[in-house]
Amino acid sequence: MALFLAGTVLPVAGTPFQFCLLQPPETSRLLASNPAPVPSPDTESQGERCCSRNPEVLEPNLVLFRSNCLPFAVFLWAMSLYDGLAGVYPEEEEDRHAVQMGDSDYEEDESDQSTCKATEDTTPMDVKKGKDIQGIPWDRMNTTRDRYRQARLQQYANFENIPNSGRTSEKECTPAEKGQVYYEFQHNTRSVKSTILHFQLRNLVWATTRHDVYLMSYYSVLHWSALTREKQEIIDLQGHVAPCEKHHGNFSEGFYHTQVSTLAVKNNLLVTGGFHGEIICKFLDRRGISYCCKSTNDDNGITNSLEIYEKPSGSLHFLASNNDCGVRDFDMEKFQLCNNFRFAWPVNHTSLSPDGKLAVIVGDNPDGLLVDPNSGKTVHDLRGHLDYSFASAWNPDGRTFATGNQDKTCRVWDIRNLSKSIAVLGGNIGAIRSIRYTSDGKFLAMAEPADFIHIFDVDSGYSRKQELDFFGEIAGISFSPDTEALFVGVHDRAYSSLLQFNRQRFYSYLDSAL
């Protein structure tokens, strides 16, 4: 999955906020004297490109950096050229060499960032003293946070498979009152580096309790304890991963150097899905890997999403949605595939209703599907979105569900009347890549590709919301099962981290302790 740097970003004379792209040979000459920090090329997020999600179909020699989606480190480098902002990173000097990077650079990149100390974490006390929640030193920069935010809003270009879908959908958006506070900042740790491998797939953070979070960090699945502030590697995917249990259909040879595209953790089961259909399953209360298999041998078999669920009988299953147009149901009691449903287009996400009787299927088609998960037959089409969808989620009430799309909207549907959506929730800069409801159904969170998460009050008819505003690509979002915490994985060359927000409970008397 090597990507090739063929251009770089420069500030246009006269303003630090407008950027242009230089084509070679100008680029090579400039890099020789002022090398820029290069964002991780294995994350296509920074250079949203029009290509298949097959990792083998990556076109070289493309200018990947767009002014619309600058990683923060690139922004700082450009600013330093513009007005002498050297030494912004006193404790973690960034790599300043432009090279062709591939899978082998994961280890080097991780070690470069490992120097980030726990003292750089941010707490509510730090924020009260004026520190940025991500630790960005705005007071040492030649701009303000507000000015840079405005630049991002103006310059970020949403990736679309269907041109102008985002602009057209804006006309339908349901008005929502901003300024609410449902979740308050609790902690940001830069000792945990959230990462992504595919710019459209953002389900790489899962909370199993208010204190336990699982996430992808380079080639590792990590566990982060919000209680002890310690991390632990659960699976190392850099080398050889093989099952230690014997089950029918187990791929005993295992996998090497697995590139994880999606992750799911629930009911003590952790499942990773890979770029070539690899499935790796680990029970958190057992040693080693329990099960490995290839969900598909199709060349375009990337695993787009995973959904773990429990059957009425109590048996544990998961659904794997793949780019080969299949949705597969795996029984983890018997360790075998029990259903394989085929659709007319690549499936990007599948969500099962709380009672297990319906499933939402979305993918590379503007229309979604409501299907019978036992037969795979379509119950109803979901028409309204204008581009491809990559996210879905059910309200615990079992009557409503939501779908997220590259047209920059999240649509909410009611199974009692599927002729049209009951609400159209708009984003700020990009596609809705991830959606989560709280377990009590009070709130819905939707994540854009970068910078923004919107938390809607469901009881208000989605007419009131809180907006979380930060900088960086969003690797995933997850509410804790008890609704008390919201975790956000942020991916950036310099400011990768794990953000934690806690549900506001109006315990104002505790403020005196901060």
Along the 514 residues of the chain, how does pLDDT read in single tens digits? 333 333 333 233 333 333 333 333 333 323 333 333 333 333 333 334 333 454 433 332 222 233 344 455 544 444 443 332 223 333 333 332 222 223 333 343 444 444 445 458 999 999 999 999 999 999 999 999 999 999 999 999 899 999 999 999 999 999 999 999 999 999 999 999 999 999 999 999 999 999 999 999 999 999 999 999 999 999 999 999 999 988 888 898 999 999 999 999 999 999 999 999 999 999 999 999 999 999 999 999 999 999 999 999 999 999 999 999 999 999 999 999 999 999 999 999 999 999 999 999 999 999 999 999 999 999 999 999 999 999 999 999 999 999 999 999 999 999 999 999 999 999 999 999 999 999 999 999 999 999 999 999 999 999 999 999 999 999 999 999 999 999 999 999 999 999 999 999 876 555 555 5
Rounded to two decimals, the pTM is: 0.80
476 near 205, Cβ under 8 Å?
A: yes
Q: Where in the chain is the domain with CATH 2.130.10.10?
A: 165-505
- Asked if 155 contacts 147 with a C-beta cutoff of 8 angstroms, the reply is no
3-state secondary structure of 511: helix
Burial of 83 (0-12, 13-18, 19+ CB in 10 A): exposed
- Residues paired with residue 488 on neighbouring β-strands, in sequence order: 477, 499
Other CB atoms within a 10 A radius of the CB of residue 251 amount to: 15
Determine the distance from the C-alpha atom of residue 445 to the mean position of all C-alpha atoms in its chain, rounded to a whole number.
13
User: Which candidate, 410, 489, 477, places its Cα nearest to that of 216?
Assistant: 489
Domain 165-505 adopts which CATH fold?
Methylamine Dehydrogenase; Chain H (2.130.10)
